[in-house]
Amino acid sequence: MSTNLTRRPDPLEDFFRGFFVRPVDFGGHPLANVSTDAPQMRVDVKEKADAYEVHAELPGMKKEDIHVHIDGPVVSISAERKQEKETKEGDKVLRTERYFGKVSRSFQLGQEIDEAKASARFNDGVLELSLPKKAEAQARRLSID
C-alpha cells in the first residue's frame, strides 16, 4: 500500500526561511542609519476657562532654535536642529541616528490669544506655552442723540 504524504505549508516557516539570507540595503553601508523619517513634533493642547496650555516635545533642540508665532487663534511652532560637525581623525562613523532638519506645526484654537500675556518655557526637551484667551469684545448698544 502506497501512501502519499503531503506537507502543508507553514507561513511562519516561509517567512523565516529567507529572513537571514535576504540582502538588506541600509544606505550603502551595513550599519548605516536605517530610519530616514524625520521625527514628528508631538503636541498636547489643553483648554482651561481662561487659557490654553500647549506642551510640545522637542527633544535635542536648543531654545534659541525654537520659534513660536501667534496670529489671532492660530499658533505656529517651528524648530530647527542644525548639524554640528564633529570629525575626529582616523574615526569612521558606522551609524548615526541623529536627525538634523526642521520641524513645524500649526494649529487653530477656538479663541484668539492675548499675545501680550502669553508665555513660553523650554525645559528638558518640552516647550510649554501658556496662552491666555483674549477677552471677547462685548457688544455695546449705541445711544442715539
User: What confidence tens digit (pLDDT) does each residue in 11-29 have?
Assistant: 555 554 444 444 444 444 4
E strands in the chain: 42-47, 51-57, 66-71, 74-81, 101-108, 119-123, 126-132
From the list 80, 79, 75, the residue with the least C-alpha distance to 129 is 75
Would you say 84 and 62 are in contact if contact means Cβ atoms under 8 Å apart? Answer: no
DSSP three-state, residue 99: coil
How far is residue 56's CA from residue 63's CA, in Å, rounded to a whole number? 12
Question: DSSP string covering 105-125, please?
Answer: EEEE-SS-B-GGG-EEEEETT
Q: Are 54 and 43 in contact (CB under 8 A)?
A: yes
pLDDT band at 59 (very low <50, low <70, confident <90, very high): confident
With a cut of 70, say whether residue 140 has pLDDT above it.
yes
**pLDDT at residue 52 in the model:** 96
Q: Whose CA is closest to 68, among 60, 79, 57, 53?
A: 79
Q: Which CATH architecture has domain 37-83+100-132?
A: Sandwich (2.60)
Residues 6+ apart with CB under 8 A from 40: 103
Task: Write the pLDDT tens digit of every residue in 63-117.
Answer: 999 999 999 999 999 998 876 555 555 667 666 666 678 889 999 999 999 999 9
At residue 39, what is the residue type? P
